[in-house]
Amino acid sequence: MPPRRSSAAEPRRTCVQCGALLAKPRLLRIAGIPGAGWTPDPSGTHPGRGIYLCRDGDCIRRFSARVRTAKGGARWKMGAAGAELAERLSAFEQGAGKT
């Protein structure tokens, strides 16, 4: 009988933009409660539902463009808050690029 592994596997999540399955710390979490607001959550500690994106700029840019539209905002139950989230993601992406 093979020995059991003593360490638990790291949690994995899927990027909603490109579909990549990665370790949770390698993704950017967007936390929110539908109808109440959404915000980037790089630490992964805010309450609410989580949407995960690759931290590379391409997935963040493409997701931002997607939620700016009425159809994209409706897909994630964001409504008009989708445009606000897109602005926050743009600011997050610019801030992350400078560090």
CATH of the domain at 61: 3.30.1230.10
Specify the number of domains making up the chain.
1
User: Is the confidence at residue 6, as pLDDT, over 50?
Assistant: no
The three-state secondary structure class of 41 is strand
Residue 80 lies in a domain: yes
Residue 5 lies in a domain: no
Residue 4 lies in a domain: no
Residue closest to 14 by CA, chosen among 6, 4, 26: 26
Site of tokens 């963040």: 60
Q: Cite the beta strand spans of 24-96 per DSSP E.
A: 27-33, 37-41, 49-54
pTM of the shown model: 0.78
Q: CA-to-CA distance for 29 and 99, rounded, in angstroms?
A: 19
Give the pLDDT of residue 59: 93
Tokens of 15: 């990027």
User: Is the confidence at residue 69, as pLDDT, over 80?
Assistant: yes
Mean residue pLDDT of the chain comes to 83
Question: In which domain, by residue range, is 59 found?
Answer: 12-98
